[in-house]
Homo-oligomer: A and B are copies of this chain.
Amino acid sequence: MSDTTTALIALDWGTSSLRGFRLASTGEVLETRASAHGIQHLPEPGEAGFEAAFAALCGDWLAAGPVPVVAGGMVGSAQGWREVPYLSCPTPLAGLYEAAERVVTRDGVEILLAPGLIFEPEGGTPEVMRGEEIQIAGTLAGRPDWQRASTLVLPGTHCKWAEIRDGSVTGFGTYMTGEIFALLRGHSILGRLMSDAPVSEDTRNGAFARGVAQAAEAGPGDLTRQLFSTRTLGLTGQLPGGALADYCSGLLIGHEIVSGLRDSGDGPVVLVGSGALCARYGEALRQLSRQDPAAIIENPAPAGLHRFARDAGLLRQES
């Protein structure tokens, strides 16, 4: 029988939401909760807002006695509970705790906040992440092969591509794919022709693949021209309104993958995030490189926070 004693409370605390996990000492997730109290939507302003959000979500988990608490994400940003400075890449993931910062609630509960990462390539522009490093740590936990060499892709509003070598994040890049897609669909001329009119799965997948194929042929700078074809393919009836969003998504994801693969090593590509979106990335990856993603990992945050806590010495030794 597994041990169901609470050994750790782990918080994945982002801009728009707060997720809490009650973990066993093994890292097993015993309970998951979520609230809308992201750092920009706290119940009251200032430090008290963070305390109130935490107490509302997890207060009863502490009723039986003290339990270590860790948190990752925007809670450690300049707009968070306390700013935890970025660690510079290359960063050994096992050393995140060395840069962590501690906050203490009025009730005396200590919470260890994880740092974000910064990557400043020579002659390039800086890259930052906050929260994804925890997901990366969780994805790599128990996978020495991926720790040795892999490329982790975390699709979303701002998609991260992280290069892993010998247990360290050696560098990473951020693509605005998700945000730009949302802007184009919601606010641009392209969105006007996109409709919810039902079209077959085949038509939608075909439109997505057509966008990816366009991306494969793109030269430098071609994206904003190719995007306009979302409109003209609709205007000329070559694609139905119900498939235009798929085409546009294929273009954007395709461009991202073309660029990301060029800067990646030859380790396996691991997709991290929601299944539906990662499936799309997997399709585009196959189309562009004839390789399958090594895996799709959903929700590695609890495992990452568990590892962070263990590295920090907050957990009793597992028996």
List residues of chain A with CB under 8 Å of any chain B CB: 118, 125-128, 158, 173-177, 179-180, 183-184, 187-189, 214-215, 218-229, 232-233, 235-236, 238, 252, 254-260, 262
Given that A126-B238, A128-B235 are known contacts, is A259 also in contact with B176, CB under 8 Å in the complex? no
Given that A227-B176, A228-B176, A259-B219 are known contacts, is A233 also in contact with B188, CB under 8 Å in the complex? no
The reply to whether B187 and A126 form a contact with Cβ atoms under 8 Å apart is no
The reply to whether B125 and A220 form a contact with Cβ atoms under 8 Å apart is no
Contact of A221 among B126, B189, B232, B257 (CB under 8 A): B257
Considering the chains assembled together, what is the distance between the CA atoms of A179 and B190 in angstroms? 10
- 8 other contacts beyond A180-B224, A225-B259, with CB at 8 A cut-off? A126-B238, A174-B228, A179-B188, A183-B188, A219-B259, A220-B220, A220-B258, A221-B254
Considering the chains assembled together, what is the distance between the CA atoms of A218 and B179 in angstroms? 20
Given that A125-B232, A126-B229, A225-B175 are known contacts, is A220 also in contact with B183, CB under 8 Å in the complex? no
Given that A226-B125, A233-B126 are known contacts, is A262 also in contact with B187, CB under 8 Å in the complex? no
Residues of B within 8 A of A252 (CB): 224
The reply to whether A232 and B187 form a contact with Cβ atoms under 8 Å apart is no
Contact of A183 among B174, B184, B233, B238 (CB under 8 A): B184
